[in-house]
Amino acid sequence: MDKSLLNKPEGSFETTVPRRFPVPSSDHGPPANQPESHPSRSKSSVPLETPSCDANFNGPCAHEVVRDLLPVIDNLDRAILTGRHSGDFDEFMSSIEVVRNQLFDTLTQHGLQEIPGTWCPFDTCHHVAVGQEDDDGHPHGSVVDVVEQGYRFGERVLRPSKVIVSRNDSSNPGEFE
């Protein structure tokens, strides 16, 4: 994929991705013949930080996360356009991988963490066993494979990992480092 297409300013493509929702007009005020309904909310007076964030929430406010995800949406739109216009599946997949990594990086900057998987001891707080596999190469009861990655935010598990757990005949449960 031509990575120079990513992070280009809006309107730099000849065509655009269809939007599901109406896009607000580019003028930032009311039409000349209509009074402004909220004069105290003009663009220049909107605070960058919103004081109404939940004080018990140990991370960024939702609007900050959403704001930081907007470039990801832009790049997904660009990847879709690239796929439509190039017809090259490998180029399309490459652009999707770039955007997936951008999304993951943005979320980790806001506190998202992957739950450790393969070779870790099975932990009911972080894992859900969806199967077992005979495997003498792994200690009994350890995670052999991650079927679906789990995530946590701080100490809160958002979604446990779905894993395959080792089962072996060895009486030695093995050591975890």
The 10s digit of each residue's pLDDT in 29-86 is: 444 444 444 333 333 333 334 344 444 455 557 888 888 999 999 999 998 888 888 8
pLDDT at 157: 95
Nearest-5° Cα angle at 76, 73 to 77: 90
Q: What is the mean pLDDT of the chain?
A: 73
pLDDT of residue 60: 57
77-121 pLDDT per residue, tens: 998 888 888 888 888 899 999 999 999 999 999 999 999 988 899
Q: Report the interhelical angle of 62-86 vs 89-109 (nearest 10°).
A: 170
For residue 170, name the pLDDT band (cuts at 50, 70, 90): low
pLDDT at 127 over 60: yes
77, burial (CB in 10 Å: exposed 0-12, middle 13-18, buried 19+)? middle
By CB atoms closer than 10 A (0-12, 13-18, 19+), residue 166 is: buried
Mean pLDDT value across residues 10-21:
42
Per-residue pLDDT at 171: 52
pLDDT of res. 58? 54
Residues 6+ apart with CB under 8 A from 74: 7, 10
